[in-house]
Structure 1
């Protein structure tokens, strides 16, 4: 089935050879000059692809592999019966062996750094302690609710709800809530949360009043600046629907990676940007000691309220409730074309709590990355080291290029498989001046 210009159109099926794996969890194939991003396929395979949608300007097509003509040796039977074309969209790599999943993700990180930052970096995706098979790890799952009140998971690129029996990557505590076995009439979603401390909770969305608060414990260790082993063991309060790493081993793993690279010394000044409820700020405070200073910035008021409580015994920490760009006094872009009454850029004054310089900086931005303005402001602080925690390799690569222009070289990248069975990968990058 072809469109008016001779290319494939939505609904068409065609046999294609898969040549590569792309950022976003799709394999790449071509048919008569058209690029197809094919889910549920692997490089080296020949598949029958069903075209599901067209990209902007029909420059590319999205498709599902509905039949495998020639299979890759890395292909396995998906452990979840709800994974596959037209089913749950949460896991896009259930058909791939765990070792091959990590190899594909490492390739994506390398490709993004090469394409966007012009750096050739050898990256290996490391497993996160806590799961051996890539299943039973996700401690926070949002179940969508359909018009009939049934809870399930969303189909890929759709609002349709797939009424699964249970999620195979969900932690046992999530499964114990049996969310999919109960009616939830009148709700949009149910968030199932299995914290490391206490009982799992099911949060109704929308909530009636304030949601529950859960407690998470982080225990880990790393080598300090003097070569001795530093042990960290601390509890954190966080809103059940607030941000916390969903893999039980992720928070400890990322914290050890960051602190092990920064070599924070007593008396130093540190910044924790996008600080959440204070995980990195707390470890930084222990490292700089009572003669040092930590400034933690977070835009979410509830998170900063918890951060102040979590860090109440560490008076060397100042928690600032603000967007990071506002805290630096960076003007937000104009909103022309949005239909809003005011189209002028928002002017911001630099927070007096932000110091003029810093020895070390931790950046843990959202998926879009820190961006040019924030990277420039961080560089102006002239830290000796920057630790960047990234949930998107493309955003990391873009910001790596920006930091390089500002005089900061990429010293090391570690990648972690914090989201098995999905295309997502977490990176911890270290930058140093010079």
Structure 2
């Protein structure tokens, strides 16, 4: 392949600004692998098999690899489609002099090919990190929209599924999103991946000066949305009130500190009411909740099916929900074990733990403990039938895996949003004599590189 230099690089390297590359296989992280004179280049916004012109976004002579965005497609894949969102379209964005926003890096790929690429990444991570030779399909989630106030999601388009969205704020006081690996904020005037409840707020028409970040939660059950405002240093209460007054009366508005997660009421509630699996859940502030409108029911169904079918979950069972959040899995586990069983629910975040106490106050078989998973398990040893493990993106890690194995459960249902940390942890479980007994993967983040997995792990090979 022959590089084509357009303009001198603005960096202190010999790297050209643009290259023509053949796009190679997909890799974890939302990019594909290409090569130039022996150097690996991670290319975003391409599809394996394409020939493209790229703009280098991170390059240096001493770097082990470079990064690049596609700016022109010379030979297109049959799976390439027109991007649904102009500000996330790489070629269009760079033609206007700025990078694309992050968060929709697969929006130029047909949904079927997106799922195939995600399946390939999952299989590669499992093979490389755990020596597991599985290639599970990534399942589409949801169907045609049904009647209802928030019925915007259609699995056929992959749009309108986000019930949570985060926006940065430009110096002009307008909502925007960051470009990938950049501090640059690109203004936006729509969020096609979000449910109507978020887009109806029309954040782009509101003066957000004095605010650094905005978090929005619009429950899929149509209940009252919540807007969280992270003020810039020095912003006065009067300015916060002025911003809050610009939202409709049926929207709750609160100020919050992203570091401490402290929430201050400005108007309405500081929490939202979510519905899932026959239960109601209160989620305060920026507390964790699955962002896809159909994710809670999908994940609960997969977890309970694995545990029920394996005989690990029934009336009288002793189970634990680890990294439990507001209690999504805890409530369903409590139903399954009944009053003759017990559920230990562990969550590290104080706010989420308080929510779980409110959500499960009518379930005497549930004990809710706030603290680190490994510490609580040591303090409260039990003969567990099963554990449900839903850690943050970084995964559980070797120390926690060892502690879980030491707790002696008959099975573990592992919910993960990151194939790399998941595969790494599967390797740790195998080192402890456990095996992967079941695995499903779900496309809960269409038009992004992310996916969700649910696995069943059992002792013995």
Is the TM-score greater than 0.5?
A: yes
Quick check: 2:216–2:226 contact (8 Å CA) kept in 1?
A: yes
Q: Does structure 1 residue 68 correspond to structure 2 residue 73?
A: yes
Matched ranges for 1:386-401 at <5 A: 386-401=412-427
Matched ranges for 1:278-297 at <5 A: 278-297=327-346
Q: Does structure 1 residue 203 correspond to structure 2 residue 228?
A: yes
Is the partner of 1:65 in helix, strand or coil? strand
Of 164, 169, 185, 1:161 maps to: 185
Q: State the aligned residue count.
A: 396
Q: Deviations over 1:15-61 (max 9, x none)?
A: 11111000000011001100000011010001111111048951100
CA-based RMSD of the aligned residues comes to 2.0
Cα distance change of structure 1 residues 55 and 234 upon mapping to structure 2, 3 Å threshold? farther
For residues 79 and 217 of structure 2, the distance between their equivalents in structure 1, rounded to whole angstroms, comes to 33
Matched ranges for 1:58-97 at <5 A: 58-85=63-90, 86-97=99-110
Of 288, 293, 296, 1:243 maps to: 288
Cα distance change of structure 1 residues 187 and 181 upon mapping to structure 2, 3 Å threshold? same
In the TM superposition, residue 406 of structure 1 has moved relative to its aligned partner by 1.2
Quick check: 1:191–1:204 contact (8 Å CA) kept in 2?
A: yes
In the TM superposition, residue 14 of structure 1 has moved relative to its aligned partner by 1.1
Structure 1 runs not aligned, ≥5 long? 220-232, 329-349
Matched ranges for 1:109-128 at <5 A: 109-128=122-141
For residues 288 and 55 of structure 2, the distance between their equivalents in structure 1, rounded to whole angstroms, comes to 36
Q: Deviations over 1:208-246 (max 9, x none)?
A: 643511010013xxxxxxxxxxxxx11000014211011
- Residue in structure 1 matched with residue 300 of structure 2 by the alignment: 255
- Residue in structure 2 matched with residue 322 of structure 1 by the alignment: 371
Of 434, 448, 452, 1:426 maps to: 452
Q: Deviations over 1:349-404 (max 9, x none)?
A: x43xx224311000000111001111111111221111000000010100001111
Matched ranges for 1:29-428 at <5 A: 29-54=34-59, 58-85=63-90, 86-129=99-142, 130-132=153-155, 133-197=157-221, 198-206=223-231, 207=255, 209-210=263-264, 212-219=270-277, 233-263=278-308, 264-328=313-377, 350-351=378-379, 354-428=380-454
Is the partner of 2:68 in helix, strand or coil? strand
In the TM superposition, residue 75 of structure 1 has moved relative to its aligned partner by 0.4
Cα distance change of structure 1 residues 9 and 413 upon mapping to structure 2, 3 Å threshold? farther
In the TM superposition, residue 291 of structure 1 has moved relative to its aligned partner by 1.2
For residues 435 and 202 of structure 2, the distance between their equivalents in structure 1, rounded to whole angstroms, comes to 49
Runs of 4+ in 1 over 6 A off after TM superposition: none
Quick check: 1:174–1:194 contact (8 Å CA) kept in 2?
A: yes
- Residue in structure 2 matched with residue 228 of structure 1 by the alignment: none
Quick check: 1:364–1:390 contact (8 Å CA) kept in 2?
A: yes
TM-score with structure 1 setting the length? 0.88
For residues 248 and 80 of structure 1, the distance between their equivalents in structure 2, rounded to whole angstroms, comes to 20
For residues 55 and 239 of structure 1, the distance between their equivalents in structure 2, rounded to whole angstroms, comes to 44
TM-score with structure 2 setting the length? 0.83
For residues 272 and 203 of structure 1, the distance between their equivalents in structure 2, rounded to whole angstroms, comes to 28
Is the partner of 2:87 in helix, strand or coil? coil
In the TM superposition, residue 294 of structure 1 has moved relative to its aligned partner by 0.7
Q: Deviations over 1:162-200 (max 9, x none)?
A: 111111111110001111111101111111211134122
Is the partner of 2:23 in helix, strand or coil? strand
Quick check: 1:9–1:51 contact (8 Å CA) kept in 2?
A: no
Cα distance change of structure 1 residues 153 and 410 upon mapping to structure 2, 3 Å threshold? same
Quick check: 1:29–1:38 contact (8 Å CA) kept in 2?
A: yes
